[in-house]
Every structure is written in structure tokens, then in C-alpha cells.
Structure 1
Amino acid sequence: MSLTVLHPRWLIPVEPKGTVLEQHALVMKDEHIEAVLTSDEARRRYADASHVELADHALLPGLVNLHGHSAMSLLRGLADDLALMDWLNHHIWPAEKRHVSDEFVFDGTLHAIAEMIRGGTTTINDMYFHHDAVARAAIMAGMRTVVGCSILEFPTGYALNADDYIGKALSARDAFQGERLVDFALAPHAPYTVADETFSKIITLAEQLNLLVHCHIHETRDEIEGSIKQYGVRPLERLRNLGLLGPNLIAAHVVHANDTEIDLLAKHGVHVAHNPASNLKLASGFARITAMHRAGVNVGLGTDGAASNNKLDLLGDLRMAALLAKAESTDPTALDAASSLEMATLAGARALGKGDQIGSLLAGKQADMIAIDLAALETLPVFDPISQIVYAAGREQVSHTWVAGRCLMQNRVLTTLSADQIAAKGRWWQHRITQPAA
């Protein structure tokens, strides 16, 4: 049994929302949070434990990245300043056809995880190919990961058709059963790349196996117009008719949703993964996050992939989400700092069905936490640590990252991965990707 007591300047449990505790400590027992109590009491009760002083730091739950494509870190900057379908059809999908392999996905996922750990992310809800490689990278790094298994109708270098994608997803899930940090989800890419018959299979499998479904939905106006032309209804209505909408669905983006559709999301308990940076960069539009919150939709935060962000900086995207919500709603009180932080932590945990395990610092939960050093010139003075984290802090101020009680970064130094080795791999892949096709 290992006992560690952390003594931060500020302890921000997220639950209850907006709470800031001073002169408090958190006790870790192995992978769990044993207790949150006053520092004085912790020193008396746990005198023989290891005590860590975080004199200028805020201690808070690790950030939950609710939508990402980790391996695409190796395609960062390959094709910028383009519209989504141009970007996909003429640049990203051709590059993936040439290069995506087990090795590419393993190396790219490790690269992404290292970046996310350094930025305070402790959980990633991923969506990509070569699911075994994603899982192996997560286990090696110690990152809590939901492996979203992409499903499409058309062939790629990974699978031939929808049934092939589904078969590989289920095989990977079986291979990693029992891994405590790795879960699996079915990830139909989008309504415009998946047929009704395939969605029906996914719904049945998700119900039988108790799996999450993770899908891009209402990302662009073109997607909606194409659905009306092909199916006679908007994508969400089509998915409702098929029976996909429910609390096991994570809808990524949902940039274009009218009042009726927002009510539909709330009614069915669908979770939304908001990706503000990617939405802006691809000019997809402004998601109506304030309206979703007011309707009762659970909204988490995602980075999307590094090829369309171009950073896996959830702390930076947290600030962007808060500011965009105010501008889009013309309400400066919309998505206040405490609500923003909840969106990046507990809301994401709830979307993944892990709200009772992670997302807040409560006794009994997993010790997924980060420490942010607020002593930097850029974050002084500190009148409100939550506001300072949301509106002023940068990811370079994250000093420590723990997942399940294991310290993955200590004083900015990765403990499970080699930054130098990952950087060298990134340069190797850059050279390989830029070589002319044979």
C-alpha cells in the first residue's frame, strides 16, 4: 500500500462546482483518492505517509479530452487553411491511405499522449484505426483511454468495408479485456460515411455489449444539406429514426443544431463533444454551447486531431470555449469559469460513463489529477484560481500529472515516456511522409 499526501495552495475539487479549498490536502492511497481534509489534520493522521508540498499550485482533476484522433499528431501541419471536405478528400485521406499502419498509429498515439500529459489531459476519447496500436500506446504511457474504433463504408488501408471495420473493432476489444485504463467504443465516422444498415448493426452491438458510440454529427452545413438531399431529413432526425440517439452516444462537434435539435439531444441524453479550435480552423461555424447548457445537454470538451487544431492543448481550448460561448450568445455571463472547468473535467467523465470514477476530486474516486503552478508572472496576482486557470494559465504551467495515482509527469518531466525518443520518431515520420509516392 502506498500513501501520498499532496498539499496544494488551492484544491479545486470541481464537485461541488466552483469550490476552492485552501489549507487542504488530498491523500492518495494507491490508485484512489483516500481523503480530502485539512492540511493540519492530514499531517496528524498520515504522519508516516509521503508528503508533497505544492506551495504555489492549484490541484484539480485531470482534463478529459472527449474527442480526438491521437495518431494524427504525425499529420500536424500537413494541410492547413482548407475547408473540411477539401482537407479530407484531397489531403488527409490520401496521406492516411499511404502511411497509416500499426507502426504509424502506435508512434503517433504515443506522440499525442506525451503532448496531452504535458498539457494536463489524463483521459482521451479517441477515434482512429489500428485499435491494438492505440491500446498498446495507452498502456505503455499510462493514459486513461477510450479506443474509438472507426467504422466507414468504404475501404482504407485498414479494412475493406463496414463489416470488416466492425469485426476488427470487436477483436481488439476482446484482446484487451481486463485492462484497467483501456475501454473500447464503436465509432461510426459520420452520417455521410455510414449507411442505415451499418448504423442498425452498431446500435444492436452497442446495446448487447454495453458500448459507447462516438460519431461526428452536424459538423458542417454541407453535411446537413447532403443528408436532406439523400435522405430527406437532417442527420440528427435520421439518426433519431434509426434509434441511435441515447445516453451512450457522444456526438462530436454538433456545430449546426437548431432549437428543436438541441431539445432532441437533451431529451435523449446525448452527450456533445465541443471542439472549438478545430471548428474555427476549418471554418465549420460556432456551436451553440450556451443554448445546449440551458437545455440540459451535457457538453464536454475535445481537441479533435492535431491535423485540424493544430495543438492538443485542452487547457487552451478551455479558454477558447469560454470566450466563444460569450460571443456566440452575446452574453458575458455565459459559460463562466467554473462551468468551463466542469466541462473539461466532470462533464467529459460523465459522457464516458465514468462520472463516478474520475472528473472530480472526491474520496473513493480514481486519483486522476493535475497540478498547475500559478506562481508565474503571467498568472499573478491570483484573486480567483479557477478564473486564472481558465482565462490566463498556459499548458506549460502544468507541473504534475497523475493517472490512477501514478505520476506520469513530475515537475515537467515525463516519467513513463521519453520526450527525446518521441521527438526523434516525429522527425523520422516527417521525412517519410514528405517523400514522393513510389
Structure 2
Amino acid sequence: MGLYPCLRHGENRWWLPLGEDAHTVIGRLLLAPPQVPSHVRSAVIELLQSDPTFFLYAALQFSSDTAGLEDLADWWIENARGRFASGDAFLGAPDIVVEHKQRWRKLHAHYAAIAHNDWMRDAPLWLEVLGPPVPLSWHQHWPEIEFDAEVMEAEASPLDSGIFLQQLARQTQRAESLQAAFDERLHRAKLGSLKQLAYGLSHEINNPLANISTRAQQLQREESDPQRHAVLQRIVDQVYRAHEMIADLMFYANPPMVNPVRLDLVPLVADVLPAMQSAAEVQRIRIEFQQVVGSAWVSGDRSMIGEAVRGLVRNAAEAIGQRGTIIVSVEQEGERFQIRVADSGPGLSARDREHAFDPYYSGREAGRGLGLGLCRVYRVARLHQGDVALTTGPTGCVATLTLPIAKS
């Protein structure tokens, strides 16, 4: 059993369980053409009468004071893609445990015994399984749902499950093919020129920077005026910033030797995050760590992997700007561990994603960096036989650093 994308009111979030029948119907909606076939619409209406959470998910987000089953069906048709594609749809989703499933089974039995007109009344029982108490300010604005007897008696055309699975399989194949082509092009065309560039920049720019920094610090020692002293300090700071950019380039062009040790990613990530929280608090950004696995043993360079995590969190914070959430987790996927950094920022456009690992491209405004951080993270991943990838929807972005499990 899965979950629907989160429901929001103010700062609070609630989650409803997604059943198998709803999964099938929603999948049909996602694959449907712009003009949704009548049999798919009929299936949506039928499910609204039999699946309480499918019904509540639409009803609780309906903006009018009253609505009928036809209105809720229209809501699903218009909003299914946007809700499930959103980068924030499953950000911070809780783990489902046995207790949750037991409560949901009791609620299904309860809803089977009450009239449809009472479904909205008891909606808080569903919401508070995986969420805080429902505030009155939200509850009092819920719509009144009218169950039209004629609509309820209409028979839904059966879903052709064979055609549905065929369409879904083809869609998946196409997505995998596009992803593979994108990755190949990204690795070959966007990163190939960096090595040649880095060597030249290191020699031609580092020497003048060293002279500028030395002279500025000499003038600082002789300067008694506080304002001029502060101006000279800004010069020194900007020199260090430029030097760090070149160091990032050199890291890719000629990285240091990896010093692999057997290490656990869980405490490593947990140790990195507190140091970054103070800077994030200035931007009113909350950093959360979700421990999905008990341990995650890999063979790697502790310093490099720690710097990669810092780079991903720093990139997420810069993408958010002000007010938001970053959720960091360590998970297992087959024979690999994944460090996932999900943010509530604006997400990536198609162009941003194409250039994500380009050291001279940044989706941020001028003056906020050249986008070197992700390039450095990518290099760390490849040095450890791993990878880093970005996924995004209309809002939010998830960066995933993948590393192989250590051999016992």
C-alpha cells in the first residue's frame, strides 16, 4: 500500500493511503489523452463511491461550498498529473507501519457501514492516522458533497487491464530510454572539456590572485580607518572565493587519491548536518534527517563523501532561498545505498537539468555562484564507482548520490 501526495493546510501535512484499485484508475488517468475517454471517467466516478480515501483526497481539496460526484471526477481528471508529478508530492512522507494498516482496515469497515453522506463528517479519522489533529479553520471550509442517485446507479465501463498494462509498459520503456540517452549525452558532452580548462585556469589566475590577496592584507595592517579596513577585507574574501572555485575545477581535473575505508553512511550524514543547520536557520530553512536504514556500510573516502553531502545540502539551500525544508535520508536500493537530499524549492526546468553538472552554468541569479558544487559531487560519485542524479517536478528537487555496498 502506498500514499497519496500530501494534503496541506498552513504548515501541516496529512497523508491518506492509496489502495490498489485507486492506483489502477489513477494510472489510467495519467496515461489518458487530453480528452479523457468516457469509460475512464466512469471508472473514476465508480471508485469515488467505493473508495473512501480516493473520494476524500478530491473532496478535501475542492474549492466550492458544494460538489457532486461529477465535480469530483472532473477534479481528478484535471489535477491527477499535477499532484503526482509535483516535486513536493512525497517530500517527508512517513513510513507505514503495522499499526497504521490496522487502523486503516478498521476505517474501511467503518465507512462500509455508514451512509455516503457521512463520509466527510468522519474524514478526520483518516487524516489523523498520519497527521496532526485537523484544525477547525480547515474543517469548517470543507465542501458539502451531494451524492446524485442517478450518477451512482450508472454502470462504469470495465477497464481493459491488458491494454492499460501495455500502455504503462511502453511508457516506462520510453522513459528509461530517454533517461539513458540523457545520461550518456550529459557525461560525454558537458563534462569532457573541464579537464583541459582547469589546468590553464589554475596557473593563469591563481598567481594574480595570490598577489592581490597579499597586497590587500598588507594594506589592511597599515589601515586605521574602519570602513577602508572592511573594504580591504571584502577584497581578501572574494580572492578566497575565487580560489575555491578554481580548487573545485582542479578537483575534477586532477582529484586527490581516494583513501577508502569501510564506513557507515548513517552516522557520517548525521554528523555533517548539524554544522549546516545554523547557516540554514538564517534562511529559515529546516534540515531534517530521516534514518530509513539502521546502517549503510560502503567503502569510500570519508572526507570526500562528507564534502559531497555538504555540497548537495548547500545546493538545496541555495535553490530554496528563503523558507523551506530539506529532507536528507539514507536508503538502500538493491546492491547500492542512496543518500537522498530532497528540497521544497522551485525545482529544475528542462534547461537547468541539462546543465546541472556543467561547472559554468547556474540556474541562480548572477553573483550566487557558478554551479561548481554539483560538478564536484559528481566527481566524488564517479571516484567511488557511484553516480549522482537529479529528479524534479513542477516544485522541488531530489538529488540522489548512489554508492555501492561494501563487500563483506
Please identify the structure whose Cα radius of gyration is greater: 2
Q: Give yes or no for TM over 0.5.
A: no
Q: TM-score, normalised by structure 1?
A: 0.23
Higher relative contact order (CA 8 A, sep 6+): 1
Q: Which structure has greater helix proportion?
A: 2
Q: Which structure has greater strand proportion?
A: 1
